[in-house]
Amino acid sequence: MRKPNANGRIPNSGGGYIKECPVCGSPVKIRNSARITLVTTEYVGSCQAAGCGAQIKGFFTWVAFVSPSGLPKHGLDLPVVPEEERLRLWRHHVKGCESRQIDLVDQLESEEQ
């Protein structure tokens, strides 16, 4: 069984991510997907544990922009998350990165004080 990374996600062999089985916690391989709307995709997956093998269906839905696109939205009307949440999400993302870059969020906060 693959181990979750620092963000709690289980990487699949294609470089993307798969979820844990809600029954046994083993990796679930996505077998099929269908776009339902501009923001929602339906997935059907199979638990990879031999003793479980659950077939499950779920949905992935985009609910808000963390940073809006510079392209026309084509009817996509999502709210933008509040600034405090953007900073929290950015910090969470940066913690998972092995980088020597300066943390611009901390720099901006120190300039505001």
- Please state the domain extents for the chain: 1-62
Stated pTM of the model: 0.58
Whether the Cβ atoms of residue 85 and residue 101 lie closer than 8 Å to each other: no
Q: Is residue 57 predicted with pLDDT exceeding 90?
A: yes
Band the pLDDT of 15: cuts 50, 70, 90.
Answer: very low
